[in-house]
Amino acid sequence: MALNSYFDFAENDFQYFKASYDAGIVANMMGAMAQGICEKYMKHLISEYYKPSDAIQQKDLENILRTHSLNRLMKFLKGNMGAEFSKNTQTHMRMIDGFYFSTRYPGDDSIEIDGDDVETCNDAIELCRTEVLELEQKLKKGEALRDHLQIW
């Protein structure tokens, strides 16, 4: 599998996460990976379908592609592209937002992942992935594009 896009990387990470999840692994890296997977799925939508029309929008695009914040990515998708995740998916992604750092480094904000956290991570990934794949199908059929995305 050639890894050429955010989507390719998200799918690759998703397969690794699922193998670990199915094996019953509970580890901090699963939290960081879960956030990263959702992040890459959203960055895929932005990088493929957001078309800046001026220098300010181009700078906004460059900035959003550097963030790890799921909340910021969801807000960008909604505010700039008209794409909004379901409330359930938003809730799950907000619950894992911050795991990218808090599960990888020691300090005042670090946490230790438990089985319930891994379940939340799995749910967030599954929900995010499902909605991204649904959007992809609609975009491929030409159902969702106009000046901005109009879906969800």
pTM higher than the cut 0.85: yes
Mean pLDDT over residues 51-79, rounded?
95
Smallest CA-to-CA distance from 73 within 61, 64, 84 is with 64
Q: Length of the chain, please? A: 152
Flag whether pLDDT at 8 surpasses 90.
yes
Question: Using CA atoms, how far apart are residues 73 and 97, in angstroms rounded to an integer?
Answer: 11
pLDDT digits (tens, 9 = 90+) for 91-136: 999 999 989 888 888 989 899 999 999 999 999 999 999 999 987 7
Q: Which two tokens stand for residue 112?
A: 């230790």
CB atoms within 10 A of CB 122: 19
Q: Is the dihedral of CA 56, 101, 31, 19 positive or negative?
A: positive
pLDDT band for 147, please (50, 70, 90 cuts).
Answer: very low
CA–CA gap between residue 45 and residue 136 (Å, rounded)? 8
Average pLDDT across the chain, whole number:
89
Q: What is the pLDDT of residue 84?
A: 86
Residue 11 near residue 36, CB atoms below 8 Å: no
Tokens of 103: 């599960």
Q: What is the mean pLDDT of residues 29-56?
A: 95
Query: At which residue do the structure tokens 């008209």 appear?
Result: 82
Confidence bin at 142 (pLDDT 50/70/90): low
* HSE value, Cβ hemisphere, 13 Å, CA-based, for 108: 0
